[in-house]
Amino acid sequence: MAKGYWVSVYPAISDLELTAYFGLAGPAVQAEGGRVLSGGGRVVAHEAGLAERVVLVEFDSFEQAAAAYESEAYQKALAALPDGFERDFRIVEGVIG
């Protein structure tokens, strides 16, 4: 079965803007079986890429990743994002290995 991934790219932000979100999102993701693989470390951008913060979360399946996003706990985390906050978020299916 192919794994599922959340890929979030954040434009210039400060951690202060996301304190409430991260406090809720971390436990919500873990409760749904998600594992944070990249939490915003160094980025080297190539071609048309931008060196923005990237968060990568792995789930055991694409279905699990999609369900985690819809979970009540994660929806509460989303509600904690500041007004006007922007991010590029995707749920993607991995390849079977």
What was the pLDDT predicted at 97? Answer: 58
Domain count, the chain: 1
Give the pLDDT band of residue 11 (cuts 50, 70, 90).
confident
Say if CB 79 and CB 23 are below 8 A apart.
Answer: no
Backbone angles phi, psi at 17, to 5 degrees: -65, -25
List residues bridging with 56 in a β-sheet. 7, 38
Q: What's 82's DSSP letter?
A: P
Domain hosting residue 58, numbered range: 4-93
**Sign of the alpha-carbon dihedral angle for 90, 86, 24, 75:** negative
Q: What is the pLDDT of residues 43-82, one digit of tens each?
A: 899 999 888 888 999 999 999 999 999 999 999 999 998 8
The pLDDT, as a whole number, for residue 74 is: 96
Where residue 24 sits, what CATH number does that domain have? 3.30.70.100
